[in-house]
C-alpha cells in the first residue's frame, strides 16, 4: 500500500511538471508515509515541523484558534493534493496552523530542506514547486475576496464549487466556520439554495 501511495505522489507531480527519472529517484529516497486516524492531528499549532505534505488518502482541515479559543477553518485538503508549502504554514520552523484529520488519512511527507535542495538541482521539481506556490497564492487571494466582498450565500455557493460533494462527508459546523457564519445560518442558506 505504501508503494502505491508514493507512486500517487509521482503521478501528482508528473501531472503538473513531468519529473525526470533522476529527480524521482532522489525524491523517492526522502519520502515517508504517515497515517492519521479521524479527529487526530497531523500538525498542531506551535509544534516544530519541517515537512512538505502530500495528502494521498482522506480529508484534512486547516484551522487557526481565534483570540477567544474558537476554531476558524481556513481550508480543507482533499486526497491526491499537496498541502500549502511549508513556509506558508510555519514561522521559524513552528507551525502556525492546526491540521486535523476529518477522516482516516494517509500522507506522504518529505523534509523541506531536502526538497529545496532537490528543487535547485532538478528543473522539473523547481517548476513543480513554483506552480504549487502560485496555486496557493491564488487560493489565498480568492478566499480573501470571498470573505470581504461576497454574501454568505455567495460564499456557500463558491464553497460547493471549490469542494464538490465535500459537504456530504464533513460536519456542517466545519463548513459554517470556513464560511464565517453560524451553523444555524448555514442551515438556512442550504434550505434556501435547495428551494431555488
What confidence tier does 61 reach under pLDDT thresholds 50, 70, 90? very high
Look up cell 479527529; give the residue. Answer: 39
Report which of residues 163 and 195 the model is more confident about. 163
What pLDDT is stored for residue 96 in this prediction?
A: 94
Q: What is the mean pLDDT of residues 149-175?
A: 96
| Mean residue pLDDT across the chain | 94
pLDDT, tens only, 1-55: 578 888 999 999 999 999 999 999 999 999 999 999 999 999 999 999 889 999 9
Q: In this structure, what C-alpha cell is assigned to residue 73? A: 477553518
Cβ 192 vs Cβ 153: under 8 Å: yes
Residue 71 has pLDDT above 90, yes or no: yes
**C-beta atoms surrounding 157 within 10 Å:** 14
What confidence tier does 196 reach under pLDDT thresholds 50, 70, 90? confident
Report which of residues 126 and 194 the model is more confident about. 126
Q: In this structure, what C-alpha cell is assigned to residue 107? A: 500522507
DSSP state letters, 86-110? HHHHEETTEE-SEEEESS-EEEEEE
Q: What is the mean pLDDT of residues 55-69?
A: 95
39: left (phi over 0), alpha (psi -120 to 50) or beta: left
* Rounded Cα–Cα distance for residues 188 and 98 (Å): 29
Residue 122 CA, chain-centre distance (Å), reads 25
Instruction: Classify each residue of 127-147 as buried b or exposed e, where b means 16 or more C-beta atoms within 10 Å of its C-beta.
Output: bbbeebeeebeeeeeebeebe
**C-beta atoms surrounding 92 within 10 Å:** 6
Identify which of 105, 21, 20 has the alpha carbon closest to the alpha carbon of residue 62. 105
What pLDDT is stored for residue 195 in this prediction?
A: 87
Beta partners for residue 193, in sequence order: none
Structural domains in the chain, sorted by start:
2-149 (2.60.120.10)
What pLDDT is stored for residue 1 in this prediction?
A: 54
How many Cα atoms are found within 13 Å in the side-chain-facing hemisphere of 132?
23
Cβ 100 vs Cβ 42: under 8 Å: yes
Among 83-87, 93-97, 101-105, the range with the most confident prediction by mean pLDDT is: 101-105
Identify which of 16, 53, 27 has the alpha carbon closest to the alpha carbon of residue 127. 16
Q: What is the mean pLDDT of residues 96-119?
A: 96
pLDDT, tens only, 172-188: 999 999 999 999 999 99
Percent of the chain with pLDDT over 70: 99
pTM for the model? 0.92
Amino acid at each position: 500500500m505504501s508503494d502505491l501511495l508514493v507512486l500517487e505522489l509521482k503521478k501528482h507531480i508528473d501531472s503538473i511538471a513531468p519529473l525526470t527519472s533522476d529527480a524521482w529517484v532522489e525524491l523517492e529516497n526522502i519520502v515517508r508515509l504517515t497515517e492519521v486516524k479521524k479527529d487526530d492531528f497531523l500538525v498542531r499549532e506551535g509544534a516544530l515541523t519541517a515537512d512538505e505534505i502530500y495528502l494521498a488518502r482522506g480529508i484534512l482541515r486547516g484551522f487557526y484558534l481565534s483570540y477567544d479559543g474558537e476554531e476558524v477553518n481556513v481550508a480543507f485538503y482533499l486526497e491526491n493534493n499537496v498541502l500549502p508549502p511549508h513556509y506558508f504554514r510555519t514561522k521559524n520552523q513552528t507551525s502556525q496552523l492546526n491540521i486535523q484529520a476529518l477522516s482516516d488519512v494517509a500522507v506522504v511527507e518529505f523534509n523541506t530542506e531536502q526538497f529545496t535542495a532537490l528543487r535547485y538541482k532538478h528543473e522539473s521539481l523547481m517548476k513543480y514547486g513554483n506552480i504549487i506556490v502560485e496555486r496557493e497564492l491564488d487560493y489565498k487571494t480568492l478566499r480573501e475576496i470571498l470573505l470581504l466582498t461576497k454574501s454568505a450565500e455567495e460564499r456557500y455557493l463558491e464553497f460547493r464549487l471549490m469542494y464538490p460533494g465535500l459537504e456530504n462527508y464533513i460536519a456542517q459546523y466545519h463548513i459554517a466556520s470556513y464560511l464565517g457564519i453560524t451553523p444555524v445560518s448555514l442551515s438556512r442558506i442550504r434550505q434556501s439554495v435547495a428551494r431555488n
